[in-house]
Amino acid sequence: MPDAMDAVQADVQARIDDALARHRLSVPARREGLSHCEVLDCGEEIEDARRRLGARRCTDCQREADIRAGQFAPGRGR
């Protein structure tokens, strides 16, 4: 026999499911990434997991791009 706690858990789960459904509708569909790095002098193969997430650069080139983006970010006090 369900008690008050079961009802609360069912309500919480319904709210989570609803929030996830709304979120999925608001996020544009991801396109699969590239099979090889888009950096011209690299061409390294991109791992499957990163490709499924939409990666366009290999790990090393993305790390380099992230470092450069941080170096030249506004407000970095030059």
For residue range 54-64, list pLDDT tens digits in order.
899 999 999 99
Q: Answer whether residue 6 is part of any domain.
A: no
pTM of the model: 0.55
Provide the residue range defining the domain that includes 36.
30-73
The single residue listed with the structure tokens 């380099």 is 64
Q: Answer whether residue 61 is part of any domain.
A: yes
pLDDT at 65: 94
Q: Answer whether residue 78 is part of any domain.
A: no
Check residue 32 and report its DSSP letter.
P
Q: Answer whether residue 8 is part of any domain.
A: no
Structure tokens, 8: 């609360």
CB neighbour list of residue 76: distance below 8 Å, 6 or more residues apart = 70
Say which residue, 1 or 40, is predicted with more confidence: 40
Number of domains the chain is built from: 1
* Separation CA 25–CA 45 (nearest Å): 31
Q: Answer whether residue 49 is part of any domain.
A: yes
* Separation CA 63–CA 68 (nearest Å): 9
pLDDT at 23: 87
Q: Answer whether residue 65 is part of any domain.
A: yes
pLDDT for residue 24 is more than 70: yes
Q: Answer whether residue 42 is part of any domain.
A: yes
